[in-house]
Amino acid sequence: MKHYARFATIAAALAAAGTWSAAGAAEVKLKAAAFLPVKSVYVVQFGRWVTEVNRQCAGKVGVSVVGPEAIKSLEQWNALKSGVVDMHYGPPNYYVGAVPEGDVISVARNESAEQRRNGAWALINEIHNQKLNAWYLTHLMNGVRFHIYTLKPAQGGKFDGFRLRSTPIYDVFFKSLGGLPVRMAPPEVHTALERGTVDGYGWPLWGIADFGWHKYTKYRYGPGFISAAVAILVNLDKWKSLDNEQRQCLTRAAEWVEGEWPKWRDEESGRQQAVQEQAGIKYVDLGPGFARQAEELYWESLAKGNAEFVKKVRPLLSGK
């Protein structure tokens, strides 16, 4: 009963909330839950897609978006699976317990448009159908790669004894470099940096100034490794309930953003790099082996969840 009451409360909150919403009597209204607040740079990019959906699909489908204030980030995938929300914009590593192999998009080296053409999209969609009751439309943030940021210099590309805020995506990689992974939520990192209780953190290129971390950060190590890929999913039962024209419109919008995304990414990456340079953060290039090591270790981790699937999909994501 508690579980039911929790989702009933969420459903009521979603009914009252919404951003980038579209109106129209004949439209099917889809409620999307985003893993970060709608003002985050990562969700702003999703908002650009939602705006285009509401323009292209006016009269057919309308999408509105809420953030974790309506439903907690780590509960959103389950809300999607059960149909409490119609759509979810979130990283596959958040639902790794349900779809252990779902985060293959994070180690892709080609664009999402190519993944649709070469068959990778179909394989990834199938696994989401089976394990998450979800239709995989597409994803954003591919090519927005992670870096190691520190308060003090590393010695020879090694981070021996460095306490680094980490996530399961790159825990093993940090350990291989001599680092000590530390788990903490993003809102806690600012205080940790201020007090020096961590020596650095893993984070993508984008957004460190949004949290104020740039004021303490001195170095960024690259080249970037593993993408901060974020999937756009539709509840599979809801997808099947749409008529053919509605599904085609959402698919066209997904294909549209796959074409636009590289330009959006390059523009925002330029802005983010400028912010870091202005803050005096020094970029240190540790050579191509740095990123290869991180990605190889993560591929090995993903294969433990479904070796057969990874063997099939990896060549389609290699970018070669």
Residue 290 amino acid letter: F
Residue type, 234: V
Rounded mean pLDDT of the chain? 91
Picking from 233, 34, 31, the residue whose alpha carbon sits closest to that of residue 127 is 233
User: What pairs with residue 139 in β-bridges?
Assistant: 231
| Helix residue ranges per DSSP H, the chain | 2-16, 41-56, 76-82, 112-118, 120-132, 171-176, 186-195, 236-241, 244-278, 288-305, 307-313
Query: CA 92 to CA 96: how far, in whole Å?
Result: 6
pLDDT at 320: 63
Ordered structural domains, the chain, with CATH = 2-143+228-268 (3.40.190.170), 145-226+275-317 (3.40.190.170)
pLDDT tens-digit series, residues 225-260: 999 999 999 999 999 999 999 999 999 999 999 999
Q: What is the pLDDT of residues 199-223, one digit of tens each?
A: 999 999 999 999 999 999 999 999 9
At residue 261, the pLDDT reads: 97
Residue pLDDT, tens place only, 98-151: 999 999 999 999 999 999 999 999 999 999 999 999 999 999 999 999 999 999
pLDDT-derived band at 3 (thresholds 50, 70, 90) equals very low
Look up residue 56 and give its two tokens.
């292209």
Reported pTM: 0.87
